[in-house]
Homo-oligomer: A and B are copies of this chain.
C-alpha cells in the first residue's frame, strides 16, 4: 500500500490527483488488476468525475456547499459538521480497474481528492492488486 500526500488550499476543494494515482499504479508493477483508493480522513472523500473542464469540479464544490449548509442545527462543536456530512455523501473508498499498467478511466474521467474542511495536508491510500 502506498500513501500519497495531497495539499489542499480551500475549505471545499476537489483536487485532481489522477497523475499521482497513475504514478502509484505504475510503480506497483501491476499490469492487470484493481486500484483501491481510500481516504483515511473524516472530512474528506474520494470521487471520480470530469477532469477536462475544471469548471465541473468547481460546480460540484458549489452544489455540495449549497446542499449541506455550514450552519445547520448541529451538535458537534467543531463547526465542521457539514464537512462530515459531505464526506459521508461522497464516500471514503473507490476503485478503478487497471489494464496495461494503467487506470482504465473513461474518456473524461479523472480521480479527485475531495477536501471538505481545508486547507490541510491530507493523505490518500492507494493499493493495486493483481487479479
Contacts and interface: CB of A to CB of B under 8 A. Distances in A.
Interface of A: 1, 34, 36, 38-42, 47-50, 53, 55-56, 58-60, 62-64, 66-68, 72-78, 81-82, 84-85, 87-97, 99, 104-109, 125, 127, 129, 131
A73 to B, nearest CB: 7
Contacts of A81: 55-56, 59-60, 63
B38 A60 contact: no
A82 B63 CA distance: 8
Given A36-B34, A85-B63, A92-B48, A76 B97 contact: no
Given A49-B42, A73-B62, A92 B94 contact: yes
Q: What is the oligomeric copy number?
A: 3
Contact residues of A: prevailing secondary structure: mixed
A84 B59 contact: yes
B59 A76 contact: yes
Nearest to A48: B92
A3 to B, nearest CB: 10
Contacts of A95: 36, 38, 93, 95
A94 to B, nearest CB: 5
Contacts of A62: 72-74
